[in-house]
Structure 1
């Protein structure tokens, strides 16, 4: 082994160690905002196992707005033979996912794509999918973007395929006694988790920006999202209406806690096409 190769290997190992640490702190940070996050993950996997047209043996799954691969990792833990395609726009989070998954025997296929771009589906390496899953991401889209996306996802599913979106689903009435108390309970849960050692969103990103091994990805992230603003998150009612308008025959809210929920939608059909 040459000296240069040894140095490259050491650098790769260093980046992987950094990624593992940051992804672990990402998990704790996310749990600070979503108190029963693992329960929602478990339910998603149970639904895939029971409703996926291909069954649990080797489902083809699209992880949408995957971040550093939190859900993809759990999919592969439950279904080791699954074919997983993980899509996100953020180059930094995709890099963390690739590095964190590097030692896995089976890995997702990572794809960088912007879900707001109508042509994003052309970047996918395969289609259709038995299940499409997403967590804590689609609330960044506008109402119109979400409606367009759901129509696209319907087309990407095999007959009888399912869509699972675990997300922030704000109340239809943004102000009022119930909404105020719900918000206060959520804040108290978050504060307790942070007091117990979890990072908040800003602290986690500060740690990323202080990591020299990721300087290139941080610069790419900043350029990608420069000028991006976030409006009001689509309401639960809008999600349900957009899913039904997009073609899904069955749409149900199958889990809900404060402002976090899990929507399950089915595309009915007689048989799955050959791949």
Structure 2
């Protein structure tokens, strides 16, 4: 889940100690993410027994790669990342798939990163990684790079964090408060008002109202779909969305004029 340009005052992906700490927290969400990762893998346009080669961009500790390997028993997955400690974790996690994986360490900010992959692939996947590039122009360029790697008939699928509009963000906050109100009533018999719950939520915010991870401005869904189309992908789609999480992707035609 590292790409090469993260700000190191927030993350130190080259530190084995920090990566161990980060994975220790993130891995607790593996079970809830599993269904979405398997859905992403299933969107690759191949039969389950196909002998395909798939690139996982910003593979991190291998959660996305594992879903692909489980979905396609004859697949080979190339795990890309910019963090050696992350790739070490991935190697251990995927030990049961020995012989079906390889690893590439490269910085997506370097246009030559595609050369390290070693030729075209049948599909590319990525999970909550490419947004770390931050610069819209760089993300758009990486999408174009990925297009050059995908064989005709293949696909690029990306579970990404996107910017929510004010209306959808407010709707999601209200839905969360309603669910909390219902849960508290079921557990205690007390039904606090939504206003009270909203006030409590504000009090619990980090100092200044913005956490260290921040409300960074992320590209919108329309930005991502536009970059996919500009890169050359056909049928750029959003297959699933839940708040700031979206599964997006595009397919490359089998025959191109």
Are the structure 2 counterparts of residues 186 and 28 from structure 1 closer, same or farther at C-alpha, using a change threshold of 3 Å?
farther
Alpha-carbon distance between aligned partners in 2 of 1:188 and 1:20, rounded to the nearest angstrom: 36
> Using a 3 Å threshold, how does the CA distance of structure 1 residues 137 and 22 change in structure 2: closer, same or farther?
closer
Displacement of 1:237 after TM fit?
A: 1.0
What TM-score do you get using the length of structure 1 for normalisation?
Answer: 0.65
Partner Cα distance (2:241, 2:227) in 1: 19
Matches of 1:107 and 1:261, distance apart in 2? 28
Structure 2 CA distance for aligned equivalents of residues 187 and 133 of structure 1? 34
Check conservation: 1:129, 1:157, Cα contact below 8 A. yes
Counterpart in the other structure of 2:225: 240
1:245 & 1:38 partners in 2: Cα distance? 30
User: What secondary structure does 1:165 align onto?
Assistant: strand
Q: Could you report, residue by residue, the CA deviation over 1:116-157 in whole angstroms, capped at 9, with x for unpaired residues?
A: 111111111x32111100011111121001110111111101
Alignment of 1:49-64 (within 5 A): 51-52=45-46, 56-64=49-57
Distance 2:86 2:177 in 1: 26
Deviation per residue, 1:143-182 (Å, 9 max, x gap): 00111011111110111110000111222x3xx3431342
CA distance in 1, matches of 2:92, 2:130: 24
Distance 2:49 2:236 in 1: 22
CA distance, structure 1, for counterparts of residue 92 and residue 168 of structure 2 = 43
**Which structure 1 segments of 5+ residues have no match?**
1-18, 193-228
Tell me which residue corresponds to 1:134: 126
| CA 91–20 in structure 1, closer or farther in 2 if over 3 Å, else same | closer
Distance in 1 separating the partners of 2:33 and 2:59 = 15
| Distance of aligned partners of 1:55 and 1:187 in 2 relative to their CA distance in 1, 3 Å threshold | same
Structure-2 change in CA distance of 1:79 and 1:178 (3 Å): closer
Alignment RMSD (CA, Å): 3.1
Structure 2 contact 155–252 (Cα < 8 Å) conserved? yes
**Aligned partners of 1:140 and 1:233 also within 8 Å:** no
Between 230-239 and 56-65, report the one with greater CA deviation: 230-239
What stretches of structure 1 move > 4 A for 4+ residues in a row?
Answer: 19-25, 183-189
For residues 127 and 263 of structure 1, the distance between their equivalents in structure 2, rounded to whole angstroms, comes to: 24
Matches within 5 A, 1:1-275: 26-29=26-29, 37-48=33-44, 51-52=45-46, 56-124=49-117, 126-141=118-133, 142-171=135-164, 173=165, 176-183=166-173, 232-270=217-255
- Please say if residues 34 and 67 of structure 2, whose CA atoms lie closer than 8 Å, have aligned partners that are also in contact: no
Q: Judge conservation of contact 1:20–1:100 (CA < 8 Å) in 2.
A: no
Distance 1:91 1:188 in 2: 43
Contact preservation (8 Å) 1:251, 1:264: yes
Change (3 A) 1:84 1:184: farther
Contact 1:60 1:82 in 2 (8 A): yes
The alpha-carbon deviation at position 56 of structure 1 amounts to: 3.8
Structure ranking higher on relative contact order (CA contacts 8 Å, 6+ apart): 1
SS of the counterpart of 2:73?
coil
Point out where structure 2 has 5 or more consecutive residues left out of the alignment.
1-18, 184-213
1:251, 1:266 within 8 Å by CA — same for their partners in 2? yes
